[in-house]
Chain A
Amino acid sequence: MNQKISRRDFSKLLFAGAAGSALGLSALPGMGRAADRKRVVVVGGGFGGATAAKYLKKLDSSISVTLIEPKAVFYTCPFSNWVLGGLKTMEDIAQRYAVLKNRYKIDVVADTVVSIDALKSVVKLKSGKVFGYDRLIVSPGIDFSFEAINGYSRKAAEAQMPHAYEAGPQTVLLQKQLHAMKDGGKVIICPPDNPFRCPPGPYERASLIAHYLKEKKPKSKILILDAKDKFSKQGIFTKGWEKLYPGMIEWRGASTGGRVLKVDPAAMTVTTEFGDEKGDVVNVIPPQKAGKLAFDAGLVNSSGWCPVNPVSFESLIHPGVHVIGDACMAGAMPKSGFAASSQGKVTAAAIVRLFNGEVPAAPSLVNTCYSLIGPGYGVSVAAVYKLTAEGIVSIKGAGGLTPMDADDDQLSQEATFARGWYNNIAQDIWG
């Protein structure tokens, strides 16, 4: 007897016996239509979505994969701080979809999803086009809770106080402001509380802005007003700042005057519990939530993020819809491009196995985040993750930070590997 068929039969027996007709069995994605070409629609061409699309094709070229992404060019958040530091250009962090389209035969559609109907298994696009799917992968990234900071707004971000936490025009605006600032000016960076995208991001940013200022405007200062009392890689960042930029970067934790109560974009002031701070450049990184599409499609829970099954990243709310990347709740994994890509691979492999009527393999996930403190001074944090009854946890005894006592050679090697990592992950995803 064919094992795949018997598996389906078992499932039918199960549903028929246990669930009755209350659940439309035919509506279940990934079941039935066995002979048809399977269709996967991927929404979002960033680290998560583009990886999932490519690896689906790599694993099974017979699957029809459609990637919906409105932007022709995706600017990566990783290395956008390097642009601010003058070490990379915007073109260096630009990724495109030609290889996915031509070599991997992915149908790349430049359009925006306006709605997802998880019951009918269709997505509707702005252009009016409708795509049906057997499985949908949503990788919507983040959205900002501008309203969480009194006085801040999308408009303020686009005019006076950029967040620059989505690479692109925001990065360019912040860079222009830094270039226009006088020597002796003050840059204020306001990182949000956890959880947020790229936990070391604001501190790498402070480092590389300091690098730029040290070279061009050495009398300037950087003030970090943090919504937290500790931050990612804090020890090694602090050590690096003392070594490379002594006296230039001041960090205030939440309970020591760092918590931002409100901002006044017109006056360029930030109000904390300890008083007002005026900046020449003010970078406000607001609290975050899952991308708008995840909210519109009802994929989020009360936390503002998307709960998922950690084996296949299938939504715990809508069957047949997988949510990966920053928007999903992936246990101990941080919200990073690397993590999103790792999730994209696990999801692609799980979907292929589900299509074949097989149980997905136990997931194995990884994250490595390089941060540059100076051009030849790199640090990293790594972790390997596995699934336990507590969800996705990092494996004890593995991973960890660049050691505090790392010598100059190791720090310089890590800076070199950071550059190598960017080229390779970009190739692994879009190349």
Chain B
Amino acid sequence: MYNVRVVAYLELRLVFIIYTCKYIVQSNPFVDGYQHVEMEGNVLGSVLWIANNCLVSCPVIFNISIREEHLMAEKMKLLIAAVTVVSLSVLAGGQAEAAEAAGVDPRGQVLAFSCASCHGTDGKSVSIIPSFYGKSPEYLETALMDFKSGKRYSTVMMRHAKGYTDEEIRLIAQYYGTVWQTNN
């Protein structure tokens, strides 16, 4: 279970948390609360706690809690929170693996949805823009990698493909290379 995917999810949480903390700091009513978090001397625990809440439901609760001064008062609670969050993250990694085993990678899906805005739902174009419904993962991966490297010319795809890592391109190709098989 402790694999790259788990790390990726943890990373997402941490990135989001830093973002949220910054937001909270920028929102005046919560500045004191944020400082309070730091004074607890368990920044990591706090950050992980927020990470969990932000993704599960909302930083709002965090905000309200600070305002109400019901939260962050006892280090013990933070410790429980931190342990909980780490457990949840590992769980999330496991679930991602389970989902992938079932055929659809959630990250691949989210990445791939972007393509449909120009190429049509599931890559079925109703216009002059090329359709890629029914193409194989190998074909799609090669095409995207060639757009990325500039080997293949396109007015706009060369600009888009550079926005994705090779791994993300593989996930996108995998999604569209199999979605038509699922539909059939």
Number of residues of chain A lying within 8 A (CB) of chain B = 80
Residues of the A chain whose Cβ atoms lie less than 8 Å from the Cβ of B170? none
Q: Are the C-beta atoms of B114 and A421 separated by less than 8 Å?
A: no
Q: Is the interface of A mostly helix, strand, loop or mixed?
A: mixed
Residues of the A chain whose Cβ atoms lie less than 8 Å from the Cβ of B58? 309, 314-316, 319-320
List, sorted by A's number, 26 A–B pairs whose CB atoms are closer than 8 Å.
Answer: A3-B95, A14-B52, A14-B80, A14-B84, A18-B80, A307-B23, A311-B55, A319-B57, A320-B58, A346-B110, A349-B110, A349-B113, A358-B99, A361-B106, A364-B113, A364-B168, A366-B160, A382-B159, A384-B160, A397-B162, A398-B162, A417-B155, A420-B125, A424-B125, A424-B129, A428-B120
Q: Are the C-beta atoms of A423 and B110 separated by less than 8 Å?
A: no
Is A371 part of the binding interface, using a Cβ–Cβ cutoff of 8 Å? no
Among all A-B residue pairs, the 5 with the closest Cβ atoms: A384-B163, A398-B163, A420-B127, A319-B58, A389-B18
Residue of B nearest to A421 (CB): B118
Most A Cβ at <10 Å: residue of B18, B56, B164: B56
Give the total number of A-B pairs whose CB atoms are below 8 A apart.
221
How far, in angstroms, from A380 to B117 measured CA to CA in the complex?
Answer: 15
Q: How far is the CB of B26 from chain A (nearest CB, A)?
A: 9
Q: Are the C-beta atoms of A416 and B128 separated by less than 8 Å?
A: yes
Is B81 part of the binding interface, using a Cβ–Cβ cutoff of 8 Å? yes
Is B152 part of the binding interface, using a Cβ–Cβ cutoff of 8 Å? no
Residues of the A chain whose Cβ atoms lie less than 8 Å from the Cβ of B85? 14
CB within 8 Å for A398 and B160 given contacts A309-B58, A414-B155: yes
Q: Name the contact of A316 in the complex, choosing from B15, B23, B65, B95 (C-beta under 8 A).
A: B23
How far, in angstroms, from A359 to B52 measured CA to CA in the complex?
Answer: 9
Binary contact readout A302-340 vs B (1 if CB under 8 angstroms, 0 otherwise): 000001011110111111100000000000000000100
How far, in angstroms, from A420 to B129 measured CA to CA in the complex?
Answer: 6
Is B176 part of the binding interface, using a Cβ–Cβ cutoff of 8 Å? no
Residues of the A chain whose Cβ atoms lie less than 8 Å from the Cβ of B8? 362
Is B20 part of the binding interface, using a Cβ–Cβ cutoff of 8 Å? yes
Q: Are the C-beta atoms of A23 and B88 separated by less than 8 Å?
A: no
Q: Are the C-beta atoms of A316 and B60 separated by less than 8 Å?
A: yes
Number of residues of chain B lying within 8 A (CB) of chain A = 72
How far, in angstroms, from A424 to B129 measured CA to CA in the complex?
Answer: 8
Q: Are the C-beta atoms of B160 and A382 separated by less than 8 Å?
A: yes
Residue of A nearest to B58 (CB): A319
Is B137 part of the binding interface, using a Cβ–Cβ cutoff of 8 Å? no
CB within 8 Å for A23 and B61 given contacts A390-B19, A398-B160: yes
Q: Are the C-beta atoms of B92 and A423 separated by less than 8 Å?
A: no
B24-71 contacts to A (CB < 8 Å): 27, 49, 52-61, 63-65, 68, 70-71
Q: How far is the CB of B158 from chain A (nearest CB, A)?
A: 10
Residue of B nearest to A384 (CB): B163
Q: How far is the CB of B112 from chain A (nearest CB, A)?
A: 9
Is B7 part of the binding interface, using a Cβ–Cβ cutoff of 8 Å? no
CB within 8 Å for A361 and B113 given contacts A19-B71, A318-B60, A423-B127: no
Residues of the B chain whose Cβ atoms lie less than 8 Å from the Cβ of A431? 121, 126
